[in-house]
Structure 1
Amino acid sequence: MPSETDSTSDSVRSIARGASLYTIGKIISDAGEFALHLLVSRLLGANLYGMYAYGKTIAFMALLVTNVGANKSLLKYLPQYEHQPAKQEFVLALAYGTSLVGAATVSGGLFLFAPAISAFTIADDRFIPILRLFAAILFIDTLANVGYATFRALEIIEYEILTKRILKPLFRVCFVGLALLYGASVYGVVVALAVGSLLAFFIMTYFFLTRVSIRPRLNSPAASPETVKSYYNYSVPLTAKDAGNLLQGRVDILMVGFFLSASTVGVYNVAVVVSGLLYIPLLAFNQLFPPVVSRLYTSGNLAELQRLFSAITRWIFTVSLFFGLFAIVFRYDILLLFGEEFTAGTTVLVLFVIGQLLNAATGPSGYVLMMTEHQYVVMANEWVFGILNIVLNLFFIQAFGILGAAAATAGVLALRNIVKVAEVWYFEQLFPYHRSFLKPIGAGVLAAIGMLVVQLMLPSLIGLVFGALVGCLLYGGSLWVLGISQLDRQLLTEFR
């Protein structure tokens, strides 16, 4: 029988593998997204960029619910049924069938009601075809996401990374760049995005057929009303949870477009995009952490789950803190890359960075709740805080404009994550915090001082480069001097 240390090593190895592969892919993916936003914002201007960002936001919001919880259900049930391939095939069939219906329904509705949505929000006829093109992208990406989730659940995440995180953004940047080079309008840009998504979908399908042994089978011998009930009892609350999450994550952009203007949406969205980089560490460790939680919880190994939960939360916070401090210190210089008119969003960026730092500080609390069968609690969280976000945005935007939207959304994000940590403690007696969290905080203070000195002494672009270098050296060096634990060394070894 493997020892507790061996079990922890296996879990860390799996999580580190997923996190390291995801980080590589996410860096490439976000670099592609960053390049896209730079190209579109600089060449089309704040107004057309605002329409592009608004349509993309609507499609992204819809994408969270079109799979009807299939992505997260596969993360739970494929590992759970790893010794029952017939059940895996049936669950996969449920995921694909439900996603196909969801994609057709939501994409079709978005296409048909595009004129009404435009009249109610941007109020510009040019926005209607943009929204309809994003409806086509939504359909493609919904089906692709089932394949990506299958790769994650089976812990062959390299195929998701290659197709979704590397090839897809690469295709998009190349096609959008060519479209803009030949003078395409915003419509050509969205068509280029659709072509990139379609090519990535075909490549994902090839890997699914050649690297995954299970196939979707509705007529599987393991098909039973109990399995169907169990699947939808898990997926439907998570769909409702994702719907509630929409009220927090993107409804502020919709409300900015409704109350303010397309150009303001452009300024606001750039701040959202930049602050979203702080989300990378959390997403990276969440790639293979959910299947590990599912296995440890099912086997009753809560002691190891506690160790991993605490360590991973600290790792996420440590990495995110450096990026957050860098974004705050060089906020003006970063936004200047997109164009002079986008520097109006510096305070918005600071507010979102603070919100994302608090999000990182609570670690994978949401996945711990989901994988320990508290999906209804997660659903309630998203709806309660989603409604709170709408109410606060409604009043704050009219009173304080774009800053009101950022303050309301960042504040709700922070409060929601604090509540999730409390719930994990209440339901499972798992608590992520330890005095070791003081190490990254101390290192962060020193790094921030060094970056501030660079920012005051050097001009914008040169300051960005040298500031990142100086801050990284001070932050990493301070952490090393303060001491690296055995588990931290193991993680670094697995990353290498």
Structure 2
Amino acid sequence: MTDRGDESRVHSLVSIARGASLYTVGKIVSDAGEFLVHLLVSRWLGAGLYGLFAYGKTIAFTALLLTNLGSDTSILKYLPQYEDEPQKRRFLLGLAWLTSFLGALTVSTVLFVFAPTVAALTLDEAGFVAVLRLFAGILFLDTLANLLYATFRAVELIEYEVFADRLVKPVLRIVAVGGALLVGASVYGLVAAMVAASMVTLVVAGFLFLTRLDVRPTLRGPHATRETVREYYNYSLPLTAKEAGTVMQGRIDVLIVGVFLSSTAVGIYNVSVLVSSLLYIPLLAFNQLFPPVAARLYTNDERADLAAIYGATTRWIFTISLLLGILAIVFRVEILTLFGPEFTAGTLVLTLFVIGQLFNCATGPSGYLLMMTDHQYVVMANEWVFGIANVVLNVVLIQQFGFVGAAVASAGVLAVRNLTKVAEVWYFERLHPYSRSFFKPLLAGAVAAPGMGFVGWLLPPLPAIVVGAVVGIALYAAVLLSFGIEPVDRRAYQEVAGAPGSPD
């Protein structure tokens, strides 16, 4: 007889795993597209002009953390929470959309108007002001698209987000940037092509929302009261302040490198950060549907299920990320050589960020768990404390050690911040994700790493990456299988794959 509690946990894990699977497929395509765009620009224009492109993109990406004003996370919480109150869902969705639209309009306008000031304080080079102003347009369009993506995730229809954001947008960007390079466009022409790609992507996402979802935002109805508005902003405003702190941690290191060093240094540093961010894919993937599932379980006081899902999800994230991290460290020189020989100066930066990202992934969706359990003020405090620490350490260490100092500061803060989140989840909710099963991927990694290193010693760079990845995956999987598959993993896999489960 199958326990009903186990069935509920497996159902929730299957929902999260399904979202992660769809997201991973889209993320692989998206990151491959992003990788190809950066590869084309860096190889075609060189480290200096690539640095201008990467710096402008980083500023827009950093500002994107502020423009939604906490609306995306609010949507993820409130739409599942008020599933049985459709009118209140619609009003809260309308409030989120209005708030984010005004935020996007304000921040984009500020960036457009003050682009000359930003350029004068950072990379004061020809054409950078025009590039920044185009990125302000991308910032506005992408903020609106992100509202639609959050709505898709909140109702657990992640496939529409994956299609628009992870398939359509990267393909359009590759075509646009590639075409611009072929006709000899400047950096300005490349970014203009990206504006067009973002515009088309927003249209596609809007069409999917109108034709596939039945929930519609509104600012009217019986729930359009001060109490509901107060409830919304009591949740979203701390998250807005939290995002301001996140800005000081996200890509502020790249911005500070631009202030103290050159556009070439920005280019080399940014490529290393870009490669290390591949480890973030599993965490992002499982975070897609973990928040609405966690919000529902917490609201229904199903703590045992929440604890089991937190643990299994964290272990899955760490298991996948550890293999990617080993691959990135073993073949760090070979990977950076793909962008050009001058980018190999960032090997130490890449290693430090891989280690920082492994700490990030080993703590799983702890940040989202804090937010979904009504500890948004704790999350806000985290982001500000560690954000300020990151800025101070970057300013001090960059002047002492160049961009390696930036990596030491940012990777160190990333690791400590995430360990703090795990401790806070335990302190407030008495939940932690760890068990003996975490030793399995660690032992598998200890076997896979020497195998990859031996392949790297035998073969030239590009074949070494390909063959080394195959050998590493085979060794890693063999060790994991030799220890046995966890029962919850087996049942979740059977559900996802459609295989018959255990009999009742």
Deviations 1:336-374 (Å, cap 9, x if unpaired)? 000111110000000000000010000000001000000
Matches within 5 A, 1:2-21: 3-21=4-22
> What percent of counterpart residues are identical?
61
Deviations 1:225-281 (Å, cap 9, x if unpaired)? 111111111111111111101101111001000000101000000001000000000
Matches within 5 A, 1:33-432: 33-432=34-433
Give the distance between the partners of 1:163 and 1:91, measured in 2 at CA.
Answer: 24
Q: Extract unaligned runs of 5+ from structure 1.
A: none
User: 1:177, CA displacement in angstroms?
Assistant: 0.5
Give the distance between the partners of 1:104 and 1:376, measured in 2 at CA.
Answer: 26
Contact 2:127 2:188 in 1 (8 A): no
Which residue of structure 2 lines up, in the alignment, with residue 477 of structure 1? 478
Give the distance between the partners of 1:220 and 1:7, measured in 2 at CA.
Answer: 34
Give the distance between the partners of 1:267 and 1:403, measured in 2 at CA.
Answer: 11
Q: Extract unaligned runs of 5+ from structure 2.
A: 498-504
User: 1:388, CA displacement in angstroms?
Assistant: 0.4
Deviations 1:461-488 (Å, cap 9, x if unpaired)? 0111100000000001110011111111
- The one-letter amino acid of 2:416's match is L
Contact 1:313 1:432 in 2 (8 A): yes
Give the distance between the partners of 1:320 and 1:5, measured in 2 at CA.
Answer: 27
User: 1:494, CA displacement in angstroms?
Assistant: 4.3
- The one-letter amino acid of 2:212's match is R
- The one-letter amino acid of 1:268's match is Y
Deviations 1:272-293 (Å, cap 9, x if unpaired)? 1000000000000000000111
User: 1:308, CA displacement in angstroms?
Assistant: 0.8
Which residue of structure 1 lines up, in the alignment, with residue 31 of structure 2? 30
- The one-letter amino acid of 2:266's match is V
User: 1:493, CA displacement in angstroms?
Assistant: 3.1
- The one-letter amino acid of 1:89's match is R
User: 1:220, CA displacement in angstroms?
Assistant: 2.1
Give the distance between the partners of 1:205 and 1:402, measured in 2 at CA.
Answer: 41
**What secondary structure, in the 3-state scheme, does the structure 2 residue paired with 1:125 have?**
coil
Give the distance between the partners of 1:117 and 1:237, measured in 2 at CA.
Answer: 27
Deviations 1:65-112 (Å, cap 9, x if unpaired)? 101100000000000111111111111111111111111100000000
Contact 2:325 2:355 in 1 (8 A): yes
User: 1:189, CA displacement in angstroms?
Assistant: 0.7
**What secondary structure, in the 3-state scheme, does the structure 2 residue paired with 1:376 have?**
helix
Q: Does 1:454 align with 2:455?
A: yes
- The one-letter amino acid of 1:297's match is Y
Contact 2:51 2:265 in 1 (8 A): yes
- The one-letter amino acid of 1:29's match is S
Contact 1:118 1:125 in 2 (8 A): no
Give the distance between the partners of 2:493 and 2:453, measured in 1 at CA.
Answer: 29
Give the distance between the partners of 2:93 and 2:439, measured in 1 at CA.
Answer: 44
Contact 2:67 2:104 in 1 (8 A): yes
User: 1:334, CA displacement in angstroms?
Assistant: 0.2
User: 1:185, CA displacement in angstroms?
Assistant: 0.8
Aligned residues: 496
Any runs of at least 4 consecutive aligned residues in structure 1 with deviations exceeding 6 A, and if so which?
A: none
Give the distance between the partners of 2:227 and 2:36, measured in 1 at CA.
Answer: 48
Contact 1:20 1:495 in 2 (8 A): no
RMSD: 1.0
User: 1:174, CA displacement in angstroms?
Assistant: 0.8
Give the distance between the partners of 1:228 and 1:69, measured in 2 at CA.
Answer: 14
User: 1:126, CA displacement in angstroms?
Assistant: 1.4
**What secondary structure, in the 3-state scheme, does the structure 2 residue paired with 1:248 have?**
coil
Give the distance between the partners of 2:145 and 2:24, measured in 1 at CA.
Answer: 20
Give the distance between the partners of 2:78 and 2:216, measured in 1 at CA.
Answer: 15
- The one-letter amino acid of 1:369's match is L
